[in-house]
Amino acid sequence: MTETPFTSGPPVLPGPGAIHFATSLSPHRSLSPEGFKWVIRGAIAANLVIGVPMLILGAWPVMGFMGLDIWLLWWLFKRSYLDARRSETLVLTDSELLVDRVAPDGERGEHRLDAYWIRLDVSEERLVVVSKGNRLVIGRFLSPDARLALAEQLKAALAEMRAPRFEHDWD
């Protein structure tokens, strides 16, 4: 989770005012595609070590179930990688908090909340942004520690945004 400007997709224009906070969130996947290939190869090798003796002993249906086991493992990892395509972009301006969501299938959703009325409900399970009765859960895919860190950053940005700024020519 880093504070970065928009980097992907069509540009989403925030409302008027200065940008106080901007970040892009995406799920973390610790296994690289190369690591995924090695996991599948290892599972195939382990199943062959068990399945070939079973085939020799006459228990041939075991090989079919082991093939089903490999297919299920492959499908679950592919599903996890598909789910990793989701993302959320948060932009806090003087007037609004813009949340741009991209689903794994590419569908986009945009939510705009009045920045002045924003209140954060934070727990380890969820981070809820409330503004004028509108509730929006953000960062569902983040770990509890990352969610709490995001909440602290957002709270600090809200405090900085709400702090009065006076410019005087007194000298």
Q: Within this chain, do residues 79 and 155 fall inside the same structural domain, yes or no? A: no
Which pLDDT score is estimated for 106? 84
Give the residue-averaged pLDDT of 63-83.
Answer: 91
User: Which structure tokens are listed for 7?
Assistant: 């980097």
Range of the domain at 146: 19-28+86-162
Task: At 10, list the tokens.
Answer: 């069509």
Give CA–CA dist 151/134, Å, rounded.
Answer: 18
The H-or-E segment that residue 157 falls in is helix 144-162
95 and 130 share one domain: yes
> Residue 123 sits in a domain of what CATH number?
2.30.29.30
Q: Which of 29-33, 156-160, 161-165 has the highest mean pLDDT?
A: 156-160
Whether pTM > 0.85 for this model: the answer is no
